[in-house]
Structure 1
Amino acid sequence: MSTLADVVLPLPLYKYFTYRIPSDLQEALQIGSRVVVPFGRKKYYTAIVVRLHDVMPQGYEVKELISVLDERPVLRRPQLQFWEWIADYYLCSVGDVYKAALPSGLKLESETTVTLNTDFEEPDDNRLKEREWMLLAALGKKSRMTVQDLEKESGMRNILPTLRVLLEREAVFVSEQLKTNYRPKTETYIRLTFQQGDDAALRHAFECVKQAKKQETMLLSFLDLSLFMQKGKLREVSRKSLLDRSGVSSAVLGAMVEKGLFEPYKKEISRFETEVYTVQEAAPLSDAQQVAYRQISDSFKEHSVTLLHGVTSSGKTEIYAHLIDRVLHEGRQVLYLVPEIALTTQLTNRLRKIFGDKLMIYHSKFSDNERVEIWNTLLDDHSPRIVLGVRSSIFLPFGDLGLVIVDEEHETSYKQYDPAPRYHARNAAIVLASMHGAKTLLGTATPAIETYFNARQGKYGLVELKSRFNDVELPEIIPVDVREMRKKNRMRGNFTPELLNRMQIALDGDEQVILFQNRRGFAPMVECKQCAWVPKCEHCDVSLTYHKRFNQLTCHYCGFTYEIPKVCPACGQPTIGVMGFGTERIEEDIAQHFPNIPVSRMDLDTTRSRSAYEQIIEDFSKKKNKILIGTQMITKGLDFDHVSVVGILSADLMMNYPDFRAHERAFQMMEQVSGRAGRKNRKGVVVLQTSQPESPLIRQVIAHDYEGMYNMQLSERKAFSYPPYTRLIYIYLKHRDETLLQELSVRYTSLLREVFGARVLGPDNPPVARIQSLYIRKVVLKMELSASMPKVKEILKQVYENMLVDDRFKTLLLYYDVDPM
């Protein structure tokens, strides 16, 4: 039986810590269980056991863990191994992964309170020591206080060993009051006070209520509801359903409880829908889909990962459904990843019809309690299930994954930026699947260049689906030269005549329109027309965005808001005006051009809640709104049957971003949003507004030429040593003092070059060089694909420690971003 436990703490620490296991807990403790441990002078944390052993560590005093929180572990195999892989690959601590992986409701806040035992008598043969008496005397002033308060009251430090002695001698009691954010949802149910089948008691009950008609109605309603037999037993009756069925007041129910006929009780219930679904088989596949399905099955025999490259509207979801059905019949689980919460709304409805209550949804818009409930369901229920979720779903406690589907695998939303771990869910999901012996299917119409490269090189399987479902044609893309239209004075606000004309035709034909502008707010910039002064954020090096609805300027990096000045603070003239346009301004312009047409807008400002996403999508699907205006949210695989026109309002905005992926991303976004047009046997039209109609990128989008874009970008990346030919690691250094930051970042980079040589670039200013009052420097590390990430991590750690000889370096914030997007 092990006497020591290594634990991971929810802190950014690069090592595990060892604690002594009290003898009464040694038998119950298991790897993966949560325990409460003291750490530091005054704090307690919920840690997770990662190893049980008997090897006493050297270099620090081993403390004793306080309590075990779980009868069964909260982690399954291979979750700890998966956490360690993420920490090693993405250059962070396992504690960072723990904080990200576990729902907050499972990370408890500990308020350890100590209570004086007033019946304690000191034995003559075993007297208390001075420190022990001092603690009892301090505790006697209030009889009950927290460890922190007791330390202050007694003036003593490190009182835990002394407290342990007092605990063993029963001079004090420790009550571990663990505040948990998770609260089970309960509902009041009603039951009879006598056993089912007791006819005499039932007759007596009717005798008791025969003079009270409303009570009699309630008793009959109870029996009526209960007579829905379920596996030979009467069904339970909730208080709400009983009141609804009987149509009488709660006072009548209270009277029957007083008579001793009914007994109310609390029952823990699920927060999620519990209705029984009428499931149906997945829709039969078309000939092209059937071929792709067989090719995927064959590919899985040779490859763990397969890419399904299918054009927009080719019916990839139907193929997924057939693959899922097969895996569930094998008794295994499926993880279906999507990039945005918005997608889960439509997919939920489609998948519910096929898989019923086997489908579970998981994303960040769920409350903490809901996420804990899903976690516990997966821990306790071993039945085959499909989990539909966003990137954080990879951390759920799957028992036996058989298939992982990463839909729209190219999406940047799969990348976690802040805080650590800065993982990419697609890449992490591939590793998770391999740990379960599962297969991974990556699906998209516009693969990430690295993914397509791996498929073409034979590392992944490749299946292509080049025709749309029902042979619907790909949309016609019409480029319109905005620069030319402005010269001829033909622009109507931010719209070309071509786009407005196409929109009018669609609306007259009772069809719908999507307008894409990848910038929210009313105007991206405010400027003085007299002196060109531009308001900037006080905390970040960015101009402010004007939001007309709130009549304020907002920084989209730190969220700080500012009042709009009446006059220019630089020249004193009342000549402040707006430049450019965001989704909010488009919404206002559309109201002028199409005054009686209902419009909805989907961007970060309108989708703060889960219900907001669902409402916008539902209203547009049911044609309550005819025009949908949105940012990149609307590019991500949404299915609308009546959209015949898509307008891309500013293609140049995406093309001219200073990043080596800008060309690839712009193509993906335009191709994806174009795919929303022309469904259900109709060829759609996309009007693409640009001032660079002859750009190679625009020509590739018009021709739907993914291969051309891929080959062009691949040759450039090979020439300049960018992915997929190298692995990038961005190292960010931040500080409030720009001069100090520059000096230390140059020294740090010099130390890196001594080890990595020409692989190191920088330090440079990123496009936004100050955020939330912190100045930023970026160092780029280009590593060979064959390089060992644990080895790189060790070298980076060593360089960091060498820099710590200068105490000023400790005040810098430094972090790594592996495979940045």
Structure 2
Amino acid sequence: MRYVDVILPLPLDGTFTYSVPEGMEEKVVAGMRVLVPLGKSKKYIAMVADVHSEKPDFNCKPIEGVLDSYPSLLPQQYRLWQWISDYYMSPLGDVYNAAMPAGMKSTEKFKPKMELYVELASSYRNEQALHVALNMVQRALKQSKTLTTFLALSHWDSLEGDTPREGIKKVTKEELMNEARCTAAVVKALIDRGILFTYELEVGRLNTAGESHLDQIKPLSMPQQDAYNQILMQMLKKNVVLLHGVTSSGKTEIYIHLVRKAIEEHRQVLYLLPEIALTVQIMERLHKVFGDRLGIYHSKYSDAERVEIWQKQLSGHPYDVILGARSAVFLPFQKLGLVIIDEEHETSFKQQDPAPRYHARSAAIVLANMYPEAKVLLGTATPSMESYYNARQGKYGLVELKTRYKDIQLPEIQVVDVKDLRHRKMMTGVYSPVLLAAVKEALKNGEQAILFQNRRGFAPMIECKVCGWVPKCKNCDVSLTLHKSINLLTCHYCGYTYPVPTECPNCGSTELMGRGIGTERIEDQISEIFPEARIARMDLDTTRTRNAYERLISDFSSGKTNLLIGTQMISKGLDFDKVSVVGILNADSMLNYPDFRAYEHAFMMMAQVSGRAGRKGKRGLVILQTKNPTLPIISQVVHNDYDSLFKGILEERRMFHYPPFFHLINVFLKHKHEKICQQASLELGKTLRGWFGERVLGPDKPAVARVKTMNIRKIVIKLENGIDQKKVREYLKYAQQIMAKDPRYGALQIYYDVDPM
């Protein structure tokens, strides 16, 4: 009799044993998907971890079907799953769930996802008819705005005569509603009038970008060539190399040459980026060179496409290069030779919720170690403390590229003392005179500007002017953010929305005002200050779809929009030619954050967003607004002095037991009832202190102590380098088992965040 140990796509640890019925023995091997029963009526698609003849000491159920003719999971990928499960203390079932596309775990027949697109009716596809359509909706303001937005998005607005222009773009209904900020009813009204119509398209097809042109890669400049040679030399001795290159030094071009070399050696490449927005821009550059050898993989792609890419990677003709966000690390690679992790410092590489809370950078380094001679290149202008420390200690190779491409100077950074200007009543809202003058000048000269504010929404909160009442989420321990365009208060933790009150429920006053400022409010104000500007906003609210990213970036790149307002999304390596001015509206909001990494992250964000200025042709200008211009970090940003920042922070980290000298593990407890949560956290804290002594801090309430009606407590464990991590994990799991046996804590959730960001 044959048996299989399988992983179920459920938050369960370890594997589960089933028997293999007669006739199926030859069909089942490790890495295949099988259909298994669980409980009385449920069925799941499980992953075979092992096939053996060892009879378990219980009656096991038989599997009901084999779904693959060859393994869906390669041995290296399964070993990565095991490492992630072990290191990040996450059930193997959670890793399976995160790694595999949904279509490969569903018992329903796989259907490709369809998306609804909007198009202009054929009778209006000439200049004269378009004017008629616009006149028809002139009095219906929402319809008029929606139609105008559609014409701009699709580029029908640049129609001349009767001939449709080449560059007409497809627009999804969701995208149109997102951009025009209208409801489905408004779009329906335009359809009912016969001006627009909708049609369905299958979303997500595999890349058919044509043949590759490896011979057409641009030659490297002297500094780039030198860095390229140094990287290859370092890779002879080290498995991981850090490329520390200033913004706009041409790191991507070096990556392209390294990718070509790997392809010529018949090896595959994994190219990881922290943000989907970046994937969109670099994809175009890579398509030109690598054509249909390039596959794209990230969460905004349809499940249909992700399943197809997974299957292609297992086929005889896999992609040579995979470009993707963190989930691409899970794809099967048959002959991986190079991993490039661009913007390696980015916190987006760390998965926060749900489990597994893995860091894609660490996972990718572990994955590369599983392939003979595979190497990892970390690239960034602002290295993470951990990576730079490893490079300085000789664990990683280090290559530095200190000049911008074509010797363009780094931007001039002007620090503006907001406190002083407020005192002298010279500020216009949150905008200094020097910032407004610089933006005005840039727009007048046909250049572009970027305004950076790391907070979305219209206002972070509303407050009653009379009694100080602030609306809070009923599910979470946070105040609600005002989103004016949809006239709703939104919780950024659980997503719940509330109507904006007309009067204060506490005192009845109607004097409710917004406090603070988000990207949406900035967009409103800037459009009043610069009515001639063509403004775009890039934040989580305007980039819900993959097409929204592409449209925003392509419109700004082509000059269709000339003023971009955004959150940290815009700081991440985007390359725009005509940006001459960047405004950092509030540096202090990044610095005054209760986290030991606040200064590190603030420096990275400010240095990165500054690097968007003056990319080609001339030196850019950055206006950095702060209430504390004398802080050392402001001077470090101005002089791009990463080494000084590194030395200062490193000393603090050593003194107060933080990475890179110590590993952190956050232990979280969640329960509906606050008293039970508090009691359990005190007991667990006492148990852990008995084993780990002063390495344990807490329990404490986190900054947000209730999310989605669950109360939260947090315990921090600081573990010095060299401690037996395996033993630590055994103790933590044992502590969890002790708590689970206590009947008071039946509904208690305990989970871990290893190496938190």
Task: Please indicate the TM-score interval, normalised by the length of the shorter structure.
Answer: 0.7 to 0.9
Equivalents in 2 of 1:384, 1:730: separation in Å? Answer: 38
- Choose which of 61, 67, 70 in structure 2 pairs with 1:69: 67
Is the 1:470–1:681 Cα contact (8 Å) retained in structure 2? Answer: no
Residue 585 of structure 2 corresponds to 649
Residues 59-458 of structure 1 correspond to what in structure 2 (within 5 A)? Answer: 60-109=58-107, 179-183=108-112, 271-277=205-211, 279=213, 281-382=216-317, 385-437=320-372, 438-458=374-394
- AA aligned to 1:40 is G
Residue 140 of structure 2 corresponds to none
C-alpha spacing 1:661/1:102, structure 2 compared with 1 (3 Å): same
Task: After TM superposition, give the deviation of residue 23 of structure 1 in Å.
Answer: 2.0
Residue 191 of structure 1 corresponds to none
Equivalents in 2 of 1:40, 1:772: separation in Å? Answer: 29
Equivalents in 2 of 1:740, 1:67: separation in Å? Answer: 44
Secondary structure of residue in 1 paired with 2:283: helix
Residue 164 of structure 1 corresponds to none
Residue 601 of structure 1 corresponds to 537
Task: After TM superposition, give the deviation of residue 566 of structure 1 in Å.
Answer: 1.5
Is the 1:106–1:182 Cα contact (8 Å) retained in structure 2? Answer: no
Unpaired runs of 5+ residues, structure 1, are: 110-178, 186-267
Equivalents in 2 of 1:65, 1:690: separation in Å? Answer: 64
Task: After TM superposition, give the deviation of residue 278 of structure 1 in Å.
Answer: 6.4
- AA aligned to 2:208 is T
Residue 698 of structure 2 corresponds to 762
Task: After TM superposition, give the deviation of residue 183 of structure 1 in Å.
Answer: 4.6
Is the 2:36–2:65 Cα contact (8 Å) retained in structure 1? Answer: yes
Is the 2:34–2:65 Cα contact (8 Å) retained in structure 1? Answer: yes
Equivalents in 1 of 2:211, 2:60: separation in Å? Answer: 54
Matched, 1:810 2:746: yes
Equivalents in 2 of 1:700, 1:474: separation in Å? Answer: 14
Equivalents in 2 of 1:747, 1:305: separation in Å? Answer: 42
Matched, 1:586 2:585: no
Percent sequence identity is: 55
Secondary structure of residue in 2 paired with 1:46: strand
Equivalents in 2 of 1:292, 1:51: separation in Å? Answer: 45
Equivalents in 2 of 1:669, 1:270: separation in Å? Answer: 32
Residues 475-486 of structure 1 correspond to what in structure 2 (within 5 A)? Answer: 475-486=411-422
Equivalents in 2 of 1:764, 1:452: separation in Å? Answer: 31
Task: After TM superposition, give the deviation of residue 626 of structure 1 in Å.
Answer: 0.8
Residue 598 of structure 2 corresponds to 662
Is the 1:328–1:384 Cα contact (8 Å) retained in structure 2? Answer: no
Secondary structure of residue in 2 paired with 1:23: coil
Residue 55 of structure 1 corresponds to 54
Task: After TM superposition, give the deviation of residue 277 of structure 1 in Å.
Answer: 4.0
Is the 2:209–2:287 Cα contact (8 Å) retained in structure 1? Answer: no
Q: Deviations over 1:189-221 (max 9, x none)?
A: xxxxxxxxxxxxxxxxxxxxxxxxxxxxxxxxx
Task: After TM superposition, give the deviation of residue 275 of structure 1 in Å.
Answer: 4.9
Equivalents in 1 of 2:335, 2:718: separation in Å? Answer: 37
Equivalents in 1 of 2:546, 2:422: separation in Å? Answer: 40
Equivalents in 2 of 1:355, 1:684: separation in Å? Answer: 32
Is the 2:212–2:292 Cα contact (8 Å) retained in structure 1? Answer: no
Equivalents in 2 of 1:307, 1:485: separation in Å? Answer: 42
Task: After TM superposition, give the deviation of residue 787 of structure 1 in Å.
Answer: 2.9
Is the 1:96–1:420 Cα contact (8 Å) retained in structure 2? Answer: yes
- Choose which of 470, 480, 502 in structure 1 pairs with 2:438: 502
Residue 41 of structure 1 corresponds to 40
Residues 543-692 of structure 1 correspond to what in structure 2 (within 5 A)? Answer: 543-692=479-628
Is the 1:645–1:686 Cα contact (8 Å) retained in structure 2? Answer: yes
Is the 2:217–2:289 Cα contact (8 Å) retained in structure 1? Answer: yes
Equivalents in 1 of 2:298, 2:319: separation in Å? Answer: 20
- AA aligned to 1:318 is E
Bigger radius of gyration: 1
Equivalents in 1 of 2:406, 2:113: separation in Å? Answer: 48
Matched, 1:737 2:736: no
Is the 1:331–1:383 Cα contact (8 Å) retained in structure 2? Answer: no
Is the 2:113–2:302 Cα contact (8 Å) retained in structure 1? Answer: no
Residue 163 of structure 1 corresponds to none
Secondary structure of residue in 2 paired with 1:534: coil
Task: After TM superposition, give the deviation of residue 382 of structure 1 in Å.
Answer: 4.0
Equivalents in 1 of 2:293, 2:604: separation in Å? Answer: 33
Task: After TM superposition, give the deviation of residue 273 of structure 1 in Å.
Answer: 4.3
Task: After TM superposition, give the deviation of residue 272 of structure 1 in Å.
Answer: 2.8
**Structure 1 range deviating more: 4-13 or 516-525:** 4-13
Equivalents in 1 of 2:12, 2:515: separation in Å? Answer: 47
Equivalents in 2 of 1:560, 1:271: separation in Å? Answer: 33
Task: After TM superposition, give the deviation of residue 347 of structure 1 in Å.
Answer: 0.6
Is the 2:207–2:295 Cα contact (8 Å) retained in structure 1? Answer: no
Equivalents in 1 of 2:319, 2:492: separation in Å? Answer: 42
C-alpha spacing 1:726/1:31, structure 2 compared with 1 (3 Å): same
Secondary structure of residue in 1 paired with 2:370: helix
Q: Deviations over 1:293-333 (max 9, x none)?
A: 00000000000000000000000000000000000001110
Q: Deviations over 1:582-618 (max 9, x none)?
A: 0001101111111011100000000000000000000
Equivalents in 2 of 1:440, 1:516: separation in Å? Answer: 32
Equivalents in 2 of 1:369, 1:101: separation in Å? Answer: 15
Residues 794-809 of structure 1 correspond to what in structure 2 (within 5 A)? Answer: 794-809=730-745
Task: After TM superposition, give the deviation of residue 740 of structure 1 in Å.
Answer: 1.2
Q: Provide the TM-score with structure 1 as the length reference.
A: 0.80
Unpaired runs of 5+ residues, structure 2, are: 115-201
- AA aligned to 2:109 is T
C-alpha spacing 1:183/1:640, structure 2 compared with 1 (3 Å): closer
- AA aligned to 1:330 is E
Residue 21 of structure 1 corresponds to 20
Is the 1:100–1:421 Cα contact (8 Å) retained in structure 2? Answer: yes
Is the 1:277–1:352 Cα contact (8 Å) retained in structure 2? Answer: no
- AA aligned to 1:636 is K
Task: After TM superposition, give the deviation of residue 42 of structure 1 in Å.
Answer: 2.3
**Structure 1 range deviating more: 616-625 or 559-568:** 559-568
C-alpha spacing 1:270/1:638, structure 2 compared with 1 (3 Å): closer
Q: Deviations over 1:543-584 (max 9, x none)?
A: 111111011111111111112222222222211111111000
- AA aligned to 1:13 is L
Equivalents in 1 of 2:665, 2:349: separation in Å? Answer: 17
Is the 1:770–1:776 Cα contact (8 Å) retained in structure 2? Answer: yes
Equivalents in 2 of 1:316, 1:734: separation in Å? Answer: 44
Q: Provide the TM-score with structure 2 as the length reference.
A: 0.87
Equivalents in 1 of 2:282, 2:208: separation in Å? Answer: 19
Secondary structure of residue in 1 paired with 2:75: coil
Residue 264 of structure 1 corresponds to none
Q: Deviations over 1:489-532 (max 9, x none)?
A: 11112210000011111111110000000000011121111221
Is the 2:668–2:714 Cα contact (8 Å) retained in structure 1? Answer: yes
C-alpha spacing 1:788/1:96, structure 2 compared with 1 (3 Å): farther
Secondary structure of residue in 2 paired with 1:63: coil
- AA aligned to 2:429 is G
- AA aligned to 1:70 is D
